[in-house]
Amino acid sequence: MPPKKTKKGSSLNTEKIQSLSPHTEQSLNEFMTTNHGVRINDDQNSLKAGTRGGTLLEDFILREKITHFDHERIPERIVHARGSAAHGVFKVYESMEKYTKAKFLQDPTKETPVFVRFSTVAGSRGSTDLARDVRGFAVKFYTEEGNFDLVGNNIPVFFIQDAIKFPDLVHAVKPEPDNEIPQAASAHDTFWDFISLMPESMHMIMWVMSDRAIPRSYRMMEGFGVHTFRFVNDKNQAHFVKFHWKPLLGVHSVAWDEAQNISGKDPDFHRRDLWEAIENGDFPEWEFGVQIVPEKDEHKFEFDLLDPTKIIPEEIVPVQRIGRLTLNRNPDNFFAETEQVAFHVGHVVSGIDFTNDPLLQGRLFSYTDTQLIRLGGPNFHEIPINRPISPVHNNQRDGHMRQTINKGKSSYNPNTLGGGCPFQAKAMEGGFASFTERIDAKKIRERSPSFLDHFSQARLFYNSQSEPEKNHLVDALRFELGKVETVSIRERMLFLLSNVDNGLASEVARGLGISVPKKVDGFVNQSIPADANPKAYQPIKKEGTLHKSAALSMANTIKDTIRTRKIAILAADGVNLDSLKKVQAALKSEGAITEVIAPHLGVIESESGEEVPVKRSFLTAASVLYDAVYVPGGTNSVASLKAEANAIHFLNEAFKHCKAIAADESAREVLDATYFASKLPEDDGDDAVLSEGVVINSNVKKLCSQFVKAIATHRFWEREKPRQVPA
């Protein structure tokens, strides 16, 4: 099998990673066999009593094949069912032994194999990639000390503070049980009914209603461990730690209207994007970051470190970038790897430990329990994608689908018949020892008062957004609450939003045609135990000392590269091949991908008579699948495109979604046929880029330079300022 394509200068050893999958099977040039190795003579016909007779029960080949087919589907994940994944490697930049004894974080020369799965949360396996939703970002590190699973999301906080509410949250957001509607959507009564009674969700709601919930690509979104964990060093000294993944391509999103169109045009958009990037050798990369807090500083913040609805703002504790994750190989089989991979927040290695975050504590139970039913029993760790690369020795035996053949008669400890093996490992020998945290408390079903501030960080997030991002957040809330049929739910949500920002609540209310209520009754009563003092459960209303955080706005992300961006080139017979090729070459040299789109598939003929391959026709392409658009010149090509309604719609939609658009001066009349013709720049030969990102220039070299800068900007959201161009 030919090796996977790699970028020039890459040091990634793909063969090394592939060797970790000893059960990979390839049937090239091999005879077909049954599952027990018997060669099959005829796979086209079942065994019958005569050519028109009944099928015989003795046909073991038919029975094996049909039985296997009947059992090919396993229960999908209750949440995170829709996923995509890839293999890769992780390397730490410098030793972190000062903070942790985890070996994979100590040796900068060592590559740790990883398997990473991205996912949506609410939808089923067949739902769209572009739903407004949280995205899962789960990383399995195959370390020499065992597997470490960092099971996180692309949002650093969560809806709830205590795991006992997780079933309620999921039941509320899933399709309503009476009619199984809607799929992969939170815009319905049961979800917002639950949220309107849970003010602790308001910080998460700000994130989910923002553009963070509709990423441009898995490769262009952040990842977070969500919870506060512990690093423990070899002196048993502990530090609190928050985990981050920072994408090297920056953090980018699509517009909401665009996301809805993509769902119809290509619901596999994110899955396809990840797969194609890796196949093309454009390996996705993230830097691994940590926020480290000494144990002595646990209580010095305005928020509780154990509260999963809170972040540590980066202005308070900067993120240290300590390593790099690179995805360099696609799975060989989706089911065997992506579908059967079993992550668990409780899979940690020595040097990484838990805290008393009540949501984390519940997850420590839930994940194993889920895999037992989904993967059929206690031996899911023996599925190849889940196996550690470190040796496994214990006294666990038997169970459904056991694969390991254990020798000897002792399956218990202590024993003498087996020589006392396997031995327990001391801490100095790498044995996992839980951090010795002092515990002195009464058993009680209550929340800490330090968990009762539900609005200050929601306000921080909203204040940190750029004006376009705030507008999008308002539109998202109007859309979601506009789908809610029960007026009292809308009113409760408006009251909660008014506790975040009065202007935000007023803007949402205007779109809903109702007023912001000054008071609502019982909006937190669902969270209060029957025998508790209600005042002890009222949210704390306070202002944080930090008003804005630059890290919370995507307006401040990386905008200096067009690597892996897809650029549509609209052309027809008679295109000017010289300018087309020069623009293609310039974009390719910057790492972008170009595709020629024409009225028909096959080839088009240039002005000079040369054939130009066509990647897509207007019937199979759409502007929402591309990051920018270019229109080359050529008299006949320009005339054809000007008369092609689909070409004009393509350009109109690209402008509506705030993308960079470029055209040769000789193709200006194509853009003159669009609704944004009045906004076109004049060709002054030097500086023809407007603030709205449209480039027209007769000088191809200067056009290329200006177009590259415009694409790197990602979007020109100022086009929306009059609010006449919905995002």
Catalytic residue set? 80, 153
CA distances from 390 to 142, 251, 274, 386, 566 (A): 8, 35, 29, 12, 41
Strands 611-614 and 320-329: unpaired
DSSP 8-state code for residue 189: H
Q: What are the two backbone dihedrals, phi and then psi, of residue 559, each rounded to the nearest 5 degrees?
A: -140, 45
Q: Which of 431, 308, 400, 310 is nearest to 363 (CA)?
A: 308
Say how far apart CA 457 and CA 475 lie, in whole Å.
21
User: 293: which residues sit within 8 A by CB, 6+ positions away?
Assistant: 228, 239, 240, 241, 305, 312, 317
Indicate the SS3 state at residue 667: helix
CA distance linking residue 416 with residue 439, whole number of Å: 37
Omega within 30 of 0 (cis) for the link into 414: yes
Q: Which of 590, 599, 592 is nearest to 567 (CA)?
A: 592
How far are the Cα atoms of 248, 559, 694, 705, 713 from residue 562, in angstroms, in the given order? 12, 8, 16, 12, 9
Buried-exposed string 370-405: b where 16+ CB fall within 10 A, e elsewhere: bbeebbbebbbbebebbbbeeeeeeeeeeeeeeeee
| Residues in contact with 614: Cβ distance below 8 Å, sequence separation at least 6, in sequence order | 596, 597, 598, 600, 601, 602, 603, 604
Reading the block at residue 502, the tokens are: 């009065």
How far is Cα 689 from Cα 682, in angstroms, rounded to an integer?
Answer: 9
Angstrom distances, CA of residue 287 to CA of 118, 452, 552, 557: 16, 33, 17, 14
Q: What is the CA radius of gyration of the chain?
A: 29
Integer distance in angstroms from the first to the last C-alpha of the chain? Answer: 45
Q: What is the dihedral of CA 187, 191, 194, 195, to 10 degrees?
A: -50
| Residue located via tokens 């830097």 | 287
Number of alpha carbons in the 13 Å side-chain half-sphere of residue 556: 9
Q: Could you tell me how far CA 404 lies from the centroid of its own chain?
A: 34
Type of residue numbered 144: E
Kindly report whether the peptide bond that precedes residue 422 is cis, defined as omega within 30 degrees of 0. yes
Dihedral angle computed from the Cα positions of residues 162, 186, 218 and 472, in that order, rounded to the nearest 10 degrees: -110
| 355 neighbors 306 (Cβ within 8 angstroms) | yes
In whole angstroms, what is the distance from residue 627 CA to residue 169 CA?
35
CA–CA separation, 493 and 506 (whole Å): 12
Q: What number of helices (H) and strands (E) belong to the chain?
A: 17, 18
Token pair in block for residue 204: 């998460």
